[in-house]
Structure 1
């Protein structure tokens, strides 16, 4: 299941009547971990189906010690210098060992117990089973920090921002685990940095721009995403009307209309690779 991105953290009744489970969102490799007993090596399945066990021996060894038949949906993370460090996952295992990088498998769901498929159970029940299954398990395998209290989750997110916590994953407490998609019962909210940027061009009809080409103050150029809302489109079209040059073809963004006099905008930059959500034009 993959959560859909949302611009705000939903309220406790925002994903259905059974409540919401708020989990810390960590930046790592998504991994379904299969414990297969002492006679078979564990399988650490990436999103593409590849086995990650050979690349992350400490995690494979920890999963091998779990009861055979336990299947966890988790995030494989790296920790260095007091922060989650995604870039360390991209290095070789020898380099990570030399630099004393800590690895962890942060489990946020249990899909099977020994001899029992539990995906059809409500998430709230699976959470209780997950905590019970890992109650006596030491790191590097541990359950994700989660709560049903929205205010508490928001506090965690802010307090742990300096450690690299990206945001929150919010899940309907009554949701079953559907292998082919989460729909809107799982959503993710990323903390973002609100910054000023220069609007260099627009895409789409001049009267109804679909997106804006933004240059951040650090030199990065991004196309706003998602597309402008109807209200935002009107707010951009009016001041841009007398500033649009002739259309040109940009190799990255297609047909655009450059602004002869740039506008300044407020945007929220999130994610990896970064995306820029248009907020509004600056009043000045």
Structure 2
């Protein structure tokens, strides 16, 4: 087995399946680690070389036998907030000369949940329960920053993790067939994310205003400025209802009543959670309509934006924009 190898993938589902094994889904960087006689390599899900940015993890991995290949999640713990810090991981990539200090002050952890190779032997064909046994042996005496991921066969316990650990940066749970093989690049696992419903203000739409494709959402900050916080998935059949609610407000905007606070198109730096990461053309509307959305826990507090698209639930005609909590991070 030679690097890089695309990791096995998980597909999104609404419920955890009974009879499988369950592991917490961490809010970090998915990474495969290769330990050889002469080097250690860490690469991302997108096959990007992460080794230079995690010298602390590289040192930890050198304690393992050569010929080992692991799959896991890179996380950084923020003791002040009592949770994982995704922004600190991203900060490693742009740290430059500050990287040694970052690694010393905020060490990364590697939470390991699978093994692809042990003692130079490819073990991807073994069932998960056997790979897990090998992994427990490999990590029996490793430093605390090199952690074995918790695992349970108890569905109630897994649901408890989702309910109780979200505040600590656990995004949900991943379910795995106990007899399943490790198939690189293939979608053999199931993930269920912890979600909550929140309110936001519609600041624009993609597509046609009469039948919006998706909603661009904002919240007001302490100074009364509307800040972009994210976008919804396509709204589908709800688009007609939304179009009727929004059309009267775009007419006010065209009449020059109040200038719209966002540039058009939206800058690529704002829309980083979207798929193509390019400036986004949209139809601006006056920030008057409040909607309820379902979002996962991946919210970047410093910039005040969701990292992933959210799901439209309904229009909240009973709420005004003053009922929506203020934007964070500004």
Q: TM-score, normalization: structure 2?
A: 0.69
> Which of 28-37 and 197-206 deviates more?
197-206
Q: Please, which runs of 5 or more residues in structure 2 have no aligned partner?
A: 1-7, 255-262, 267-279, 301-306, 319-330
Partner of residue 183, structure 2:
178
TM-aligned CA deviation for residue 216 of structure 1: 2.6
Q: In the aligned structure 2, how far is the partner of 1:261 from the partner of 1:34?
A: 50
| 1:168 match: secondary structure | strand
Matched, 1:229 2:224: no
Q: Please, which runs of 5 or more residues in structure 1 have no aligned partner?
A: 14-18
Partner of residue 254, structure 1:
281
Q: In the aligned structure 2, how far is the partner of 1:104 from the partner of 1:227?
A: 36
TM-aligned CA deviation for residue 160 of structure 1: 2.4
Matches within 5 A, 1:141-180: 141-180=146-185
| 1:245 match: secondary structure | helix
| 1:197 match: secondary structure | strand
- Of 114, 119, 123, the residue aligned with 1:118 is 123
Matched, 1:239 2:265: no
TM-aligned CA deviation for residue 241 of structure 1: 5.5
TM-aligned CA deviation for residue 107 of structure 1: 0.5
**Aligned partners of 2:289 and 2:317 also within 8 Å:** no
Partner of residue 206, structure 2:
203
**Aligned partners of 1:80 and 1:102 also within 8 Å:** no
How well do the aligned residues superpose, as a CA RMSD in angstroms?
3.1
Residue by residue over 1:43-100, the C-alpha shift from the partner in whole angstroms, topping out at 9 and shown as x without a partner, is 222345454444333322221121221210011222231432233332443222553x
Matched, 1:35 2:35: yes
**Aligned partners of 2:65 and 2:119 also within 8 Å:** yes
Q: In the aligned structure 2, how far is the partner of 1:178 from the partner of 1:96?
A: 35
Matched, 1:268 2:290: no
